[in-house]
Amino acid sequence: MGTRTRPGQREIVLCGKGGIGKTTVVTNLAVLGVSRGLEVLQVGCDPKHDSCTAHVDRRARTVMDLFREKGRVDRRDIEGLLQRGRTGVWCLETGGPKPGVGCAGRAITLALDVLRTAGDLLAPFDVILFDLLGDVVCGGFATPLRRGPDTAVYLVTSGEILPVYAANNIAHGVRNLANRGGGRVAGLVANLRGVPGERDLLERFASALGTRVAAWIPRDPAVFEAERAGRTLIETAPDSPAAAAIRRLADAIYEGPGDSLVVPTPLDDDAFEALFAAWRPGGAP
């Protein structure tokens, strides 16, 4: 069942392995949405609760913080946690438990359950962007993927084995959840690391999944400088190669014909090994 509170509202999930660059992409897409006059909500779905720091200049209080204090979370709690950053992006961090204690996905479930039952909280937003940790695709971490068949899921990856493995696992999760009304894959976001044969491998991976590479983001020192400054890349280096690539992705998302959503066909173990066979030294062409 869909979760949109008004026609035209869009929900977009960017997910992938931890450290692959999801937050950089989400944060800058959010700012570029605001620059188009859109009301944008960014939901950080990671126990580190650092998705929105470039917008609010600090680590925000989280859904899990309130749950620990009160033993429950309700509509007014979520409303109190929503804050508009200096970039104009609205922010919400789900947070997570202390290390080694509890389920890290519980906070995501708490937040989205409240948002589902109090849909008017989402009504003002044109775009809701989920910054989702994708090392695991179970329990609470899968909740944003369940929010309706028009939810667009972008898999953020490089051409290295572990990020592609994580992206393929997410594709398995999307495929399983799609059968129950969940979201669909809109494409890969290739956050390039400069490894040999990277572009060819990601093209072949996207084709195997039944989707496309929606963006090629080059390795760019400007990204690190923006992170160090605690600002978005669009602010600190708007003419950098990485910023230009994210701007093209934003143009396609916000001004294009719409997301091309597919139920993916993830690789099984043998196909995954074959994908990387040519990449390995001495591998088959």
Q: pLDDT (tens digit, 0 to 9) for every residue of the chain, 285 residues total?
A: 345 556 688 999 999 998 999 999 999 999 999 999 999 999 988 778 889 999 997 777 888 888 777 777 778 888 888 999 999 999 998 876 665 555 656 666 767 777 766 667 888 899 999 998 877 665 656 677 777 888 999 999 999 999 999 999 999 989 988 888 888 999 999 999 999 899 999 999 999 999 999 999 999 999 999 999 999 999 999 999 999 999 999 999 998 766 689 999 999 999 999 998 877 766 554
Query: Which one is catalytic: 46, 65, 131, 135?
Result: 135
Burial class (CB in 10 A: 0-12, 13-18, 19+), 211: buried
User: Is the Cα dihedral 245, 83, 51, 166 positive or negative?
Assistant: negative
> Which structure tokens are listed for 52?
């929105």
Give kind and range of the element (H or E) at residue 185.
strand 184-191
pLDDT of res. 1: 39
Give kind and range of the element (H or E) at residue 262.
none
Look up 200 and say whether it is catalytic.
Answer: no
Q: Where are the alpha helices (DSSP H) in 156-197?
A: 161-178
Look up 98 and say whether it is catalytic.
Answer: no
pLDDT of res. 285: 47
pLDDT of res. 188: 98
pLDDT of res. 136: 65
Query: Which one is catalytic: 48, 50, 126, 150?
Result: 48
For the chain, give every domain's residue range.
Answer: 10-277
Q: 64 near 94, Cβ under 8 Å?
A: yes
How many CB atoms lie under 10 A from the CB of residue 279?
A: 17
CA 56/CA 84 separation, integer angstroms: 8
Q: 57 near 230, Cβ under 8 Å?
A: yes
Query: Which one is catalytic: 22, 46, 65, 131?
Result: 22
Of the options 2.30.110.10, 3.40.50.300, 3.40.1080.10, 3.40.50.20, the CATH number for the domain spanning 10-277:
3.40.50.300
Concatenate the DSSP letters of all residues of 213-252 into one string: EEEEE---HHHHHHHHHTS-HHHH-TTSHHHHHHHHHHHH
Burial class (CB in 10 A: 0-12, 13-18, 19+), 118: middle
pLDDT of res. 236: 97
> 31: which residues sit within 8 A by CB, 6+ positions away?
87, 88, 89, 232, 234, 235
Look up 268 and say whether it is catalytic.
Answer: no
Nearest to 276 by CA among 164, 154, 155: 164
Helix axes 241-255, 221-229, angle to 10 degrees: 80
Which residue bears the tokens 């695709």? 137
How many CB atoms lie under 10 A from the CB of residue 274?
A: 15
